[in-house]
Structure 1
Amino acid sequence: MIWEVFRQEKQGDYHTHCGNVHAPDREMAKQFAAIQHGRRKPTNSLWVVPKEEVGEIDADDVAFGGTTDKGYRWATSYNPDVDHAEEVVESEGQQAEAEKQRGDA
């Protein structure tokens, strides 16, 4: 039987998947997990779960984050080649002129 192992490095951290172990029962799986996944890195706790009990929900099952496009929230959607608004360009010019005047004073 395959058991999935999740490791928590420090108390209060999230548990993250670190691998799996093959064991006939829960107690052996916990022992194997402690040996294989708990010794190599700092570990606060391990979760050992039968693989069949791990459920998956993917994008085919549900629309994550709703249906509204919110790509503007991510820097990856910023396109520097698009013309900027006139006010922004004017403001940049005014700021540069103000800095120049402060430097001359």
Structure 2
Amino acid sequence: MIWEVFRQGAEDKPYVHCGNVHAPDREMAKQFSVIQHGRRKPTNALWVAPQEKVSGVSYDEDTTDTDVDGTETDWEVFRQDEAGDYHTHCGDVSATDAESAKHAAMEEHGDDEPHSLWVVRSQYVGEVTGEHVTFGGTTDKSYRFAQTYNVTPAAEEVEASESEQVEAERKRGEV
């Protein structure tokens, strides 16, 4: 199963789509997303959502959703402003089904410019925060040192890696 991953760089910043992970369930998706998307860049939290539950919205799209139960729920909305940009969380809407959520998202978060919007029920979003894991894991590259005959570039990379690791630990308050 494919899970879309959204990363929040700082507490006051929006969640931005950063890629996806393959995982059998939400808990594994959360773990894989930490390893794959929460390691190198500053990360406050991650959201994961099943790709099949993320609905794309376009101005000429007319679809029906079979996942309708008639209860109004919250839907997270992600907007891509420019082609090639990542989808960024821009708010939420309340709706009974995906079609209604798409229309509400278009009304609240669309404008005259055509943008790509995604909607996903909030209940399908799994969150990983600093309370659950430590972001900014190891950047240790010392394993590369013994794999080369030309030791100067490898030694420089190991030295840079060690300073990155110290800086990451300092930011996490471990030093």
TM-score normalised according to structure 2 size = 0.38
Q: Which residue of structure 1 lines up, in the alignment, with residue 133 of structure 2?
A: 62
Q: Which residue of structure 2 lines up, in the alignment, with residue 53 of structure 1?
A: 124
Distance 1:14 1:27 in 2: 23
State whether residues 75 and 93 of structure 2, in contact with CA within 8 Å, keep that contact through their aligned partners in structure 1.
Answer: yes
Aligned sequence identity (%)? 51
Higher strand fraction (1 or 2):
2
> Which structure 2 residues correspond to residues 3-82 of structure 1 after superposition, within 5 A?
3-39=75-111, 42-66=113-137, 68-70=165-167
Distance 1:43 1:17 in 2: 17
TM-score normalised according to structure 1 size = 0.60
| Residue 73 of structure 1, CA deviation | 9.4
Match of 2:129, SS state, is coil
Output the aligned Cα RMSD. Answer: 2.5
For structure 1, the 5+ residue unaligned runs are 75-105
For structure 2, the 5+ residue unaligned runs are 1-72, 139-164
Following TM superposition, the consecutive aligned residue runs of length 4 or more in structure 1 with deviations greater than 6 angstroms are: none
Say how many residue pairs are matched.
73
> Of the two, which has the highest radius of gyration?
1
Match of 2:128, SS state, is coil
Distance 2:80 2:111 in 1: 12
Match of 2:96, SS state, is coil
Distance 1:64 1:72 in 2: 10
Distance 1:72 1:65 in 2: 8
